[in-house]
Structure 1
Amino acid sequence: MSPKPSALSWLWLTAVVLVLDQLSKVWAVHALQPEGVPHVVIPGFLNWTLAFNTGAAFSFLASSAGWQRWFFALLALVIGVVLIVWLKRTPRSDHRNAVPLALIIGGAWGNLIDRLHQAKVTDFIHVHYYDTWNYPVFNVADCAITVGAVALVAFGLFAKKDPAGG
């Protein structure tokens, strides 16, 4: 009996996320100079604003002495490997798990490339509401991680239960 095909075939989506993330960051670095200057896309709501983050989400640990680069790089690498193992154990047809996992891997490794290459993550998407509310600047990799994580939780919460108790 041959083994069932695994969801590793969904790694094409990881590759798409990586390419889109890296290309968008190259564009941002070249088109959005100088750093910190907003380029209005939708007035009062969306700007392209070049920013760099040496920490994690919401600049967590950004002001640390530099060790955080290697900590977050190792964390992204380990998370990616664990999720690839999860994909390998997931049936190819289980898109409810495979797609979110592939998105998270692509996002984590997109930011990993930045950390290894330049010791900081390039961000450029700035969502805000006029001058009353600002969300921290983020990137395509962050979007993939967030969408993947939310989808995993949502699909897990709303999965159809097996009446046989499994």
Structure 2
Amino acid sequence: MQTPPHSRPAPLWFPLLLAAALIAADQALKAWALAHLTYGADAIPVIPGLLDWQLTFNTGAAWSLFSGSARPLAALRLIVGLGILAYLWKRPQTWFLTTVLALIAAGAIGNTIDGLTNPRGVVDMIHSPALSAVTRALNGSIFPIFNIADMCVVGGTLLLLGSSLLPERKAQPPTQEDGSGA
């Protein structure tokens, strides 16, 4: 019986290439933000009401949790990111799981670089007024300013959680009717 395409393992190079591309995009946008945006300045609308540029720094984790802990968090992020990539190298997974885990690893490593190299912390520059409107309605706060690495971690985690709620797809054995059975 042939393995269905969705359950074949991804090649070993795929998570490394995907993570490297996402880390490069994250670092390029952060370099652009540092060169062209001013910390403390008003947001610059890109898509009015949906997307703004606004430079800020975070020495903690998401939503500024553990503020002032840039170095310990960078070490933890590095262990997580490299650990995920090592796991995928040692135990290849399906394309979906490989992609999701590579997203999380890329985000962890992207923010690690800032935590180790930028004394002001992780560089954040993407602000969404639309998301802030939702969080203000729910709890009165604005949605945090974020970066590509944050999107990778959150997106990968949500995909992983969402997929865990779906029923597992099992390969169907061939039947007599399709001519591939015994």
Scaled by the length of structure 1, what TM-score is found? 0.82
- 2:63 counterpart of 1:21: no
RMSD over aligned CA atoms reads: 2.5
SS state at 2:128 partner = strand
- 2:144 counterpart of 1:140: no
Q: How does 1:17-166 map to 2 (within 5 A)?
A: 17-62=22-67, 64=68, 68-91=69-92, 94-119=94-119, 120-129=121-130, 132=133, 133=136, 134-162=142-170
SS state at 2:129 partner = strand
Deviations 1:36-83 (A, max 9, x none): 420011223321100001111001121x4xxx1222012111112321
Structure 2 portions without partners, runs of 5+ = 1-7, 137-141, 173-182
Cα displacement (A) at 1:32: 1.3
Cα displacement (A) at 1:158: 1.8
**Count of residue correspondences:** 156
Which letter maps to 1:91? P
**CA distance in structure 1 between the partners assigned to 2:107 and 2:132 by the alignment:** 29
> Could you tell me whether the CA contact under 8 Å between 1:44 and 1:130 is conserved in 2?
no
Q: Which is higher, the Rg of structure 1 or of structure 2?
A: 2
Scaled by the length of structure 2, what TM-score is found? 0.76
Which letter maps to 2:129? H
Structure 1 portions without partners, runs of 5+ = none
Which structure would you say has the larger RCO, counting Cα contacts within 8 Å and 6 or more residues apart? Answer: 1
